[in-house]
Structure 1
Amino acid sequence: MMYDVDALRAQFPALLAGTAHFDGPGGTQTPAPVIDAIADALGNPLSIRGAVAPGEVNAETIVAEFRRAMSDLLGADPRGIVFGRSATQLTYDFSRILARTWRAGDEIVVSRLDHDANIRPWIQAAEPAGVLVRWADFDPVTGELPASAVGDLLTERTRLVAVTAASNLIGTRPAVAETARLVHRAGALLFVDGVHYAAHEFVDVTDLGADFFVCSPYKFFGPHHGVLAARPELLETLRPDKLLPSADAVPERFELGALPYEALAGTRAAVDFLAGFVAEASGGRRERLRSAFAAIVRHETALRGRMEAALSAMQGVTIHSRAADRTPTLLLTFDDRAAADAYGFLGRLGVHAPAGSFYAVEASRHLGLGDSGGLRLGLSPYSDTSDVDRLLAGLADFLKS
C-alpha cells in the first residue's frame, strides 16, 4: 500500500517553517484537518451538553464522536473512554481512587523503565496506605524488560502493576500481553502507560490485557489532553470524589466540570486523519487504522534503520536503545561531549532533537546517565529521509567541532 510522505507533510502547516523534527515523543505537529475541526467547534454554537438548544446538541455530538473515535483507535468500549487534562492527571486521579481499595500490607509493582507519571502517583498513593512498593528492573545493557521481571515480584498481596507499553526514553516495548497474563493470574490489576506506544503501534487494549490504558492525543496529531480506556464494568466499581449534582454515570463520573469540546473535536479529527493515511484501505475506521499503523511502522522502521546504520559508524557515539522490540526512538550519548551541547548545535541548524531524561528519570539513572539523560531522536509519521540526512550531517559536524 502506498505511503506518500510528501503528501502527508503538505498537510502540516508547521512544517513550512523548515525545522526537521525529532521531538515526536514529546508531541507531534498538528495537521490542518485537526486545526480546522477545533476552529469549527469553536465557530459554531456551544453550551453545556443537552438535547434542546443547538449549542447543547453540538456539545453532546462532539463528546459522543470523541468517545467513538478513541474507541476505534484503542479497541475499547466507548463507555469506558474517560477524558482527562493529561495522562499524568488521569494516573494521579486513578491512583487515589484505587488506593481506597488497598489495605496495609498490600503490594504494588512499578517499573524502572517507565515515565515518572506511571511511577510517582502510585508510590505516593501507596505510602500513606501502608502498601509495599516493589520495583521491576530492566536490563540496562539490552534495554529489555521481560515479563518475568514483573512476574517474579507478584504475590497474593499484589493489587496493581503499573508498566509502560513503550519507553519514551529508549523505545523499549515490553511484553505487555505476557505480563498481563501473569498479573491477572495473581489477581491484580494492570495499569498501562500507552502514551508513547499509541503514537507508533495499532492498539488493542483487550489483546494487551490492560485493565487501564492511558494515552495522549497530542502524541498522534491531536490536542493536548489525556485519555483513559477501561472496561465500563470495572469503572462502575470505582467511586471518585465528585460534586453532588454532577453525573454519576460511567464514564462521566470521572470527568470533573465542563469538557473542552473543541479539544475533543480535534481528537476525533486526529483519529480520522490517521485512518486516512492509506488511500487504498477499506472497511470501517478501526480496520483503516490497522492498515494505517502497518504503513506507519514500515515507514518509521526504515528511517530508524537508516539512522542506526550511520550512527553506529560514528566514533564516540553510544546508542542506548537496544531492545529487540522498540519504537523508532533512539537515545544517544557522546564520549566527552554533553548531549545538551548536541541539542543546541543541532537546533542552530534547524534540527530539533532535544536532550534530557524526559521525565523517565528512573530509567535514565538505571542506565547510568543520572538525571541528564541523553540526546533523544524520535521519528514521527511525517519524518522523511531529508530530515534524517540533515540530522546525521549535523551530528557529524558536531563531533568534529
Structure 2
Amino acid sequence: MKSTETSYPIEKVRAQFPALERTYKERQAAYFDGPGGSQVVLQSITAIAGYMQRGGANLHGAFPSSWETEQVISEAREAAADFLNVQPNEVAFGANMTTLTIAIANALGKQFKEGDEIVVTEMDHRANVDPWLMMAEDRGMTVRWIPVDKEKLTLDMQDIDTLINDKTKLVALGMASNAIGTIVDLGPAVRRARQVGALVAADAVHAAPHMPMDREEQDIDILLCSVYKFFGPHIGIAAIRESIFKDLEPYKLTTSPSYYPDKLETGTQNHEGIAGIRPAIEFFASLGEGQTRREKILSGYHEIEMYENRLAARLREGLGALENVTLWQAADDVPKTPTIAFKVAGYEPSDICVILAEEHSIFTAAGHFYASTLGDVLDVNKTGGWVRAGLAPYNTEEEVERFISAIASL
C-alpha cells in the first residue's frame, strides 16, 4: 500500500490493540507512553496465551510440547533475524535489554585489560552506559564520553578522532534518544571505530519501534532491543556478530550449553513471551508489501514512519505555539522519533502527568527516563525532568489535538 495523509489504515491498526478499548474517568484512554512500553498487538497476546493453553515445556524433552517449544524459539529467532537483518544463530533472547547488556559486558570484559579504553555517550539511556562502566571499572579501563551539543541536542562528534583511538576496544552508541527523540548519526563514530579495530555496540530499544533496523548497513557488532517497545512482550533481544559471539565467554552454569546463541541465554527462558515475538514483528510486515518478510517489514516501517512523523509534526507545532511551553528538540533538519520532551512553566512535570490522566484520560510519564546524564547536561533533573509524549502507530489525530488542548488548558 502507498500511504497518503488519508490512506493510513488507522482503524485497522487500532483494532489490533485490545488495550485501546480501555476507558478511564469515563473517557477513552489515550496512550502517549509508548517510549516506556507500547501496547501489545492482539496476535502476540493470542500467541502467548495459545502457547500456555496447549501446554508449555522445557527444552530437549522427548515429547510434543517440548518439541513445540523449540519450534517457537526457532521461529522467533528467524523473525528477529529478518527484523534486524542478521542471521538467526546470532540472535539471543533475555529478560530485557539491560540484563543482556550486563551479561555481554561481563563476558567481553574478559578480553580487555588495564589501559584499554571504551567510549560511551552523554545522550544514552543508562542501560547502554552503566554495564560498560562497570566492566571498565572491573578491568581498570579508561572511559571516554562523546558529549552532547547542548544547543543542537545532538552528539558532538568534532573530537571523535581523539575520543576513539588506538586504545579503544568498544564504542557504545544509542541509535535514538529515548528522552528527546534525536536520531543519532552513527556514521562518524562507527567509521572511526573501524579504523582503530574497536567493537560497536548499539542500543536500538527506542529506535526499533520507529525506524528500520539493519545491522549490516549500520555496521554494528552488538545490536540490542526490547520487544515490549514494539508491540510485544517483555523480552530483550541481542544480535551479536557471529565472529564475536563464538569467542564470547558469558558467566553461566557449567551444565549450560557452550554453543551460541544458547550460551548467553542463562536459565530457563520465558517461552510464552518468546511465542509473542514473531507476531509482534509481523505487525510491521502486515502494513507493508513485498515478496519476503524482510521486504514487507521495511515497507511497513515506511508507512508507520510517514504516519507517525505527520502526527509528531502537528504535536510539536501545537505545543510550540503555547507561550509557557518549552520543547527540547533538535532542529528541523535532524531526524527524530515521534517523541516530544517538554516543560510547562509553573508546573512540575509529574504534576502535569497527573492532570493529563485525571482530567483528560491521557497517559504520559515524567522524569529523565534513565537518560540521567542527558538530564544533567541539559539541567532539567533538578526540576523534575521532562514530560514525555511518545506517539505510536495506533495514536490518532484526534488524540494529538486532545493532547494539545489539554496542555493549552493549563
Q: TM-score range by the shorter chain?
A: over 0.9
The alignment yields a C-alpha RMSD, in angstroms, of 1.3
- Asked if 1:356 is matched to 2:364, the reply is no
The residue number in structure 2 matching 1:291 is 299
Letter in 2 for 1:114: D
The residue number in structure 2 matching 1:6 is 11
2:279 to 259, 269, 276: 269
Query: For 2:255 and 2:354, how far apart are their aligned partners in 1?
Result: 52
1:311 to 319, 332, 354: 319
Query: For 1:149 and 1:263, how far apart are their aligned partners in 2?
Result: 43
Stretch deviating more after TM superposition (293-302 or 96-105): 96-105
The residue number in structure 1 matching 2:152 is 142
Query: For 2:33 and 2:159, how far apart are their aligned partners in 1?
Result: 30
| Contact kept in structure 2, 1:138 and 1:149, CA below 8 Å | no
The residue number in structure 2 matching 1:370 is 381
| Contact kept in structure 2, 1:329 and 1:376, CA below 8 Å | yes
The residue number in structure 1 matching 2:192 is 182
SS in 1 for 2:120: strand
| Contact kept in structure 1, 2:146 and 2:157, CA below 8 Å | no
Matches within 5 A, 1:91-240: 91-240=101-250
Q: Could you list the per-position Cα deviations for residues 171-206 of structure 1 after superposition, in whole angstroms to 9, with x for gaps in the alignment?
A: 111111332111111111111010001010010011
- Asked if 1:70 is matched to 2:75, the reply is no
| Contact kept in structure 1, 2:128 and 2:172, CA below 8 Å | yes
Query: For 1:146 and 1:205, how far apart are their aligned partners in 2?
Result: 23
SS in 2 for 1:198: coil
Shift in Å, 1:312: 1.4
Letter in 2 for 1:10: A
Query: For 1:24 and 1:295, how far apart are their aligned partners in 2?
Result: 18
Letter in 2 for 1:282: G
Shift in Å, 1:19: 1.0
% same residue: 34
Query: For 2:364 and 2:217, how far apart are their aligned partners in 1?
Result: 33
Letter in 1 for 2:330: R
Shift in Å, 1:146: 4.5
| Contact kept in structure 2, 1:176 and 1:209, CA below 8 Å | no
Stretch deviating more after TM superposition (292-301 or 132-141): 132-141
SS in 1 for 2:326: strand
Query: For 1:325 and 1:195, how far apart are their aligned partners in 2?
Result: 17
Letter in 1 for 2:305: V
1:322 to 326, 330, 336: 330
The size of the alignment, in residue pairs, is: 396
- Pick closer, same or farther for the CA change 1:128–1:52 going to 2, 3 Å: closer
The residue number in structure 2 matching 1:387 is 399
Moved over 3 A (4+): 146-152
Stretch deviating more after TM superposition (183-192 or 50-59): 50-59
| Contact kept in structure 2, 1:232 and 1:251, CA below 8 Å | no
2:252 to 242, 250, 266: 242
Shift in Å, 1:6: 1.1
The residue number in structure 1 matching 2:21 is 16
The residue number in structure 1 matching 2:25 is none
The residue number in structure 2 matching 1:85 is 95
Shift in Å, 1:334: 2.0
Instruction: In structure 2, list runs of 5 or more residues that go unmatched.
Output: 23-27
Query: For 1:286 and 1:322, how far apart are their aligned partners in 2?
Result: 31
| Contact kept in structure 1, 2:322 and 2:408, CA below 8 Å | yes
Query: For 1:108 and 1:164, how far apart are their aligned partners in 2?
Result: 14
- Asked if 1:397 is matched to 2:409, the reply is yes
Query: For 1:339 and 1:388, how far apart are their aligned partners in 2?
Result: 19
Query: For 1:91 and 1:150, how far apart are their aligned partners in 2?
Result: 24
Stretch deviating more after TM superposition (69-78 or 1-10): 1-10
SS in 1 for 2:296: helix
SS in 1 for 2:68: helix
Q: Could you list the per-position Cα deviations for residues 76-102 of structure 1 after superposition, in whole angstroms to 9, with x for gaps in the alignment?
A: 111000111010001111111111111
| Contact kept in structure 1, 2:221 and 2:240, CA below 8 Å | yes
Query: For 2:194 and 2:377, how far apart are their aligned partners in 1?
Result: 28
Shift in Å, 1:106: 0.9
- Pick closer, same or farther for the CA change 1:176–1:20 going to 2, 3 Å: same
